[in-house]
Every structure is written in C-alpha cells, then in structure tokens.
C-alpha cells in the first residue's frame, strides 16, 4: 500500500519540471569505501556527485573515477582542519590563519578545476575564542573578496553557506541574509549562495519565502530533513511544496543530497522517483 506522502508527492509532481539531484559522497553510499561510491552512485542513477574533501586523493585519480562512471563533479569544499581543531569548520573567518586559508583556496581551485567542478564552497569557520564577531566577520569578508579575485577567470564560482547554530555553534554565517550580504558586498558574479534547506529549517524556517527572496544569489541547493538529517520524508519539512517551489522558480542548478540515509542509501532513495521521472 502506498503511503499518504507518496500520493501528496505525486500530486505535486504531475506538472513539475524535472529537478537535478546529485549524490554527496560523504553522506550517501557510505556502505562502500570512498572510491567505490562513484560506481555505486552511477549504478543508482546519479549523473553527478559532490563531496567536501578530495584532498587525500590525487585530482587525476578522482577525475578518472568520475569519467569511468559517467559522473560530473558539482562541488568541493575548501580544506578544513581535523575534528576538534579550531579550523574544523573552515578557515575563512580566522584572523590568525590567513596564510593557511589562502593556500586552501588555491588548492580548492586547483581541485575544482581539475575535476571540472563549477563550484568551490569556501567554508566560513568558527569564530575563535578571544576574537569578536565583528573582527571575525571583517576578516571573513576580506578573505572571501580575496578568494573571488583568485577565482576570476578559472570558471569556478565560490559558494557561501550559512550553517545552523545547533550543529555549528559559533559558525560565522548563521542566516541566509548574512551570506547574501557578503556576496553583495564582494560584488561579483563569482560568489553566490549555497542554500541548505536543512540548516535553514533549523534556524530560520519559512523555507519557500527564503528560497524566493535569495533566489537570484543561489547557485546551489542542498537537502536533508531535520531533526535527524535523514532523507526527505523522514522529518519535518514539507518537501512536495518545497520541490514544487524550486521547480516553478525555474531553478536549473543541482540539488545536493547531503543527508544520512535512515537505513541504507538505496532503501532511502524512493522519495526521489517522483521528481526525476
């Protein structure tokens, strides 16, 4: 028997243009070791992937995995420090790490270029102890402007993502408005928003209004269902309405599946059928 969710999704999907979902290989297909996730994603029907950290592999090796499996790379992140370190959520707002941040941006641009990825997510970072929010924010804006200058001419655009305060307390960006303001201040088409509906729901809500308000700045979307960050349909977000609004908006970019499957990756992909037929 079909669930009520199935029928409500079907209702929204009848006239909905097809949406494009990519697999985040940090979160999906973790039943396999990292390099085998490319083939698993392609076998499941994905044509594009994203993952935050390519840096422990040679770019040429990753490019071969993409090509062998007929996949596009959508994004990588700038390098982040190890768990527990002050740089674990990125370096862009840390006044004492500017040299390391710049090296990371250049490395990220190299990988994004080698992998053919259109986007480099410049991860904002946690405000360090003893540094005021204003000081960290000023450093963040200066650092994003520097990165935008490096990205010019590479074909790679930079993404800024606000993260929720429950999972990432002290993160430099905690609203979409802040992210949009920074993109505006930097003032170039090389910088835009990565809007993650999971973070948005936890801290701000009013998802469709926010999506429409910032649509002109949005270059990439990510999804997961709070509170548990599992696949759509397992939590509190009304996905049929969200996906209908995204489709109706004319958004043609990728939507990154950045969720922890509740059971297995394949068992958790059923929700997508209604939107990709």
Ligand X SMILES: O=C(O)[C@@H](O)C(=O)CO
CB of 196 to Mg ion, least distance (A): 4
Q: Is 231 a catalytic residue?
A: no
Instruction: Indicate whether 225 belongs to the interface with ligand X (CB under 6 A).
Output: no
- Which residue from 73, 143, 176, 222 is in contact with ligand X, where contact means CB under 6 A? 222
Q: Is there binding between residue 77 and ligand X (CB under 6 A)? A: yes
- Rule CB under 5 A: which of 247-266 touch Mg ion? 258
Nearer to ligand X, 22 or 258 (CB): 258
- What are the backbone dihedrals phi and psi of residue 41, each rounded to the nearest 5 degrees, phi first? -65, -45
Q: Give me 40's structure tokens.
A: 């698993």
Cβ atoms of 21 and 255 closer than 8 Å:
yes
Question: What is the Cα–Cα distance from 87 to 166, expressed in whole angstroms?
Answer: 18
- C-alpha angle with apex 69: 71 to 118, nearest 5 degrees? 20
CA 70-49-126 angle, 5° bins: 155
DSSP, residue by residue, 155-198: T-EEEE----TTTSTTBS--SHHHHHHHHHHHT-TTEEEEEEHH
Q: What is the footprint of ligand X within residues 50-69 (CB under 6 A)?
A: 52
Contacting ligand X within 182-201 (CB under 6 A): 196
Each residue 178-217 as x (binds Mg ion by CB under 5 A) or -, in order, gives ------------------x---------------------
Q: Is 164 in the site for ligand X (CB under 6 A)?
A: no
Residue 58 catalytic? no
- Closest contact distance (angstroms) between CB of 77 and ligand X is 5
Instruction: Please tell me the distance from the alpha carbon of residue 246 to that of residue 226, in angstroms, as a whole number.
Output: 19
- Site residues (CB under 6 A) for ligand X, limited to 86-145: 121, 123
Residue 158 binding target from ligand X, Mg ion, none, CB below 5 to 8 Å by type: none
What is the Cα–Cα distance from 65 to 203, expressed in whole angstroms?
Answer: 37
Per partner kind, with CB cut-offs from 5 to 8 A, the member of Mg ion, ligand X, none near residue 77 is ligand X
Q: Which residue stretches of the chain are H helix? A: 4-13, 37-43, 59-68, 98-115, 133-151, 176-186, 197-203, 207-214, 239-249, 273-276
User: Under the rule (CB under 5 A), what is the footprint of Mg ion?
Assistant: 196, 222, 258
User: Under the rule (CB under 6 A), what is the footprint of ligand X?
Assistant: 52, 77, 121, 123, 161, 163, 196, 222, 258
Q: Where in the sequence numbering do the catalytic residues fall?
A: 161, 258
């Amino acid at each position: 028997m079909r669930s009520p969710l199935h029928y409500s999704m079907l209702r929204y999907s009848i006239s909905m243009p097809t949406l494009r979902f990519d697999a985040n290989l940090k979160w999906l297909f973790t039943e396999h070791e990292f390099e085998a996730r490319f083939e698993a994603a392609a076998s499941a029907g994905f044509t594009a992937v994203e993952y935050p950290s390519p840096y422990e592999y040679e770019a040429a090796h990753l490019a071969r995995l993409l090509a062998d499996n007929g996949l596009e790379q959508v994004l990588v992140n700038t390098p982040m420090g190890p768990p527990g370190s002050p740089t674990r959520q990125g370096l862009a707002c840390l006044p004492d790490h500017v040299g390391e941040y710049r090296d990371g941006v250049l490395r990220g641009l190299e990988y994004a270029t080698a992998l053919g990825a259109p986007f480099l997510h410049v991860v904002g970072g946690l405000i360090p102890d003893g540094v005021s929010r204003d000081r960290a924010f000023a450093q963040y804006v200066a650092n994003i402007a520097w990165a935008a200058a490096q990205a010019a001419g590479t074909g790679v655009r930079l993404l800024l993502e606000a993260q929720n305060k429950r999972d990432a307390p002290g993160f430099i960006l905690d609203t979409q408005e802040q992210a949009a303001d920074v993109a505006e201040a930097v003032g170039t088409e090389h910088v835009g928003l990565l809007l993650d509906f999971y973070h948005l729901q936890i801290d701000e809500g009013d998802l469709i209004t926010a999506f429409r308000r910032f649509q002109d700045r949005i270059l990439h979307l990510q999804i997961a269902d709070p509170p548990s960050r599992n696949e759509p349909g397992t939590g509190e977000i009304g996905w049929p309405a969200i996906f209908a609004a995204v489709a109706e908006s004319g958004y043609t970019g990728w939507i990154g599946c950045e969720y922890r499957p509740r059971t297995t990756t394949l068992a958790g992909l059923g929700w997508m059928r209604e939107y990709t037929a």
